[in-house]
Amino acid sequence: MLNISSTMKFKKTKRNSHGSTIEYLPSDLLIEVLTRVATSSFTDLFNAKLRNFLEASDDKFIMKNISIEKFPAIPWWQVKDEVSSFLKACKESGNPEALYRQGMMEFFSWKKVESGEEYLKRAMEMEHMEASYVYGIILLCKAGESNEEQGMKLLNAVKKSRKLGECRKKTKAFILSMWIRNPIVKCQELMNHHAKTCGRRSNGGIGGKRGWWQWIDDREDNEDKDVEEVNYCEGCMWEDEVSLFCKLFR
């Protein structure tokens, strides 16, 4: 006769063995799984309960790729030590969003221009769109043909990605949430150069007859289309972009 307690014990053992199989996955596979989770939600990552998952979640590669969008860019309250340590680890691991936020704060609010610009550059090199946009603007605000060329190249890449309107919106929200101590000023050399060389300025000044495409509010869905339709040269187009960006600091 079959022993009932033995049967129950067998079933329980089998179920536990099946449920814990994931613990025996190789560490590199665990890291790959967690990285995919982290890119979409830090909440799901924190919900990982298995010891191996928790150990793997400290991997720098995961911290570099984790999404921190749900954390406010500038918290107006004292954050918990765990959150502060987490965000610091993201920055130290080279997380592009964390680098971008650090760069924005240092450049525009803390007057640490060189280090702030370096953080933005690092985020830009990792193809962070808002960092590419802001860094491109900063380069155009500097004197020098090489800065102008690189700045327009970055902004053209953002425009080509069809995310220019989104970058404007997010950047404006970030800047308006900061205590600004280092407003940037458009390079007069840039303005004078394009004002003299572009004949399309005779159509009515900035933006020509059609006027400048609006920044945020009523044409978000069509901003990038409107950029394509504006009838003036590339240099003047980005000069106008710089002008409106600089107005955020007034």
Contact 104, 91 (CB under 8 A): no
How far, in Å, CA of 89 to CA of 70, rounded?
16
| Structure confidence at residue 162 (pLDDT) | 93
Q: Tell me if residue 1 falls in helix, strand or coil.
A: coil
Q: Average of pLDDT values for 175-203?
A: 70
Q: Which two tokens stand for residue 140?
A: 């155009």
| Structure confidence at residue 146 (pLDDT) | 93
Task: Reply yes or no on whether the pLDDT at 66 is more than 60.
Answer: yes
The dihedral of CA 238, 244, 249, 250: what is its sign? Answer: positive
Task: Reply yes or no on whether the pLDDT at 247 is more than 80.
Answer: yes
Task: Reply yes or no on whether the pLDDT at 46 is more than 60.
Answer: no
Q: Which pLDDT tens digit goes with each residue over 12-35?
A: 444 444 444 545 556 566 656 666
How far, in Å, CA of 111 to CA of 129, rounded?
23
| Structure confidence at residue 30 (pLDDT) | 60
Q: Where are the beta strands (DSSP E) in 107-222?
A: none
Task: Reply yes or no on whether the pLDDT at 42 is more than 60.
Answer: no
Task: Let me know the angle formed at the C-alpha of 164 by 161 and 168, rounded to the nearest 5 degrees.
Answer: 150
Tell me which of 110-119, 142-151, 155-164 is least confident. 142-151
User: Whole-structure pTM over 0.85, yes or no?
Assistant: no
